A = this chain, B = another copy of it.
């Protein structure tokens, strides 16, 4: 469980220092032009409680007096600093991945501190965010664009993901009935939670939009006696999922289809999509809603599970550029563009933000436990990129920059719905 500390040990280039160093170098005014520019950047970022050490040993610390420093950033050279000033969000990630920035301290805590200070910086900060956002528009999710975007992330190797996603290979937020649950327990609990929310009954049919490595479809078939057609455009994932269904003797109940959600046809008792909406793009939400509404008879139910935001805003541009091309986490109002034009009733929204922070911490721990193998599969830069992606994601969920919405919906005239949500919380099911 001590994922964060483990990560920090690997990430730092030496012992961590959490209390503010009291030496005169930290307190004196910055002398060089670069130090002055850095101070100005830090003011824009809301004076995060971070100390910077430049290549020449000069120290810059723009935190308000009396604030405890949570980490120290060492910047390797002048070019890195100018990159940081020109485009802090993308350049920080790139420089850290390449080892041109090193962090002493807990990586998650350092990022959390920056996120909080940027948020509290008010208008200047959000202006900066808007500017940064406008420079990095997500790649378009046309049929071809989606294939390319999905390929870039999900097809980099099933063996790699198998190292750190746990037994289920579910690459989405888990649900921890208690904070002590293990990752695998929480992923199973998440699948049960989803099935209970959909009120699945034996003999029913389900269509799944974006099925990952296929765990949820298999779970539904095995534990709820339903037939599932599961769509996915990641070739690697579909191959893996089909083999899994065969091995587990569920191939007659679960059909994996290598195709886009836009090509879903037919009628089903339930529509489910866990962790796909982030890749759909708001301009396609009305179309997704049409697909869902056309799938569902009047007694049908649907569930969409997605990373979201409290208000509209781009994914962090470094994550969008280097990790998830084309991805975008919607606000609830943006998600409404799926439901409202079809008069689909939203029955239940649950925000599992802190569950995602915990899921990520578990992934991070497995990643670090297997980091040697990752380094062999890829290289040191990849290891550091992934480390930053996991740590930054944890920080986004703990500071509320990202949310996780699970939305249950049904056609407007469906009165055959559970009377309360109590059945979700009955022991075993």
Contact = CB atoms under 8 A, between A and B. Distances in A.
A353 B345 CA distance: 10
A354 B419 contact: yes
Interface size class of A (residues with CB under 8 A): 35 or more
Interface string A345-379: 11111110110000000000000000000000000
A223 interface: no
Contacts of A346: 310, 332, 349, 351, 403, 405
Interface stretch (A53-61, A103-111, A173-181): A173-181
Given A331-B340, A345-B351, A413 B425 contact: no
A413 B331 contact: no
B422 A343 contact: no
Contacts of A78: none
Interface in A372-429: 398-401, 403, 405, 412-415, 417, 419-422, 424-425
A157 interface: no
Nearest to A400: B412
30 contacts: A116-B413, A175-B420, A176-B419, A176-B420, A310-B339, A311-B341, A312-B340, A331-B336, A332-B332, A332-B333, A332-B340, A333-B337, A343-B400, A345-B351, A345-B353, A345-B403, A346-B349, A346-B403, A347-B350, A347-B351, A349-B349, A354-B415, A398-B415, A399-B413, A400-B412, A400-B413, A401-B412, A420-B425, A421-B421, A424-B425
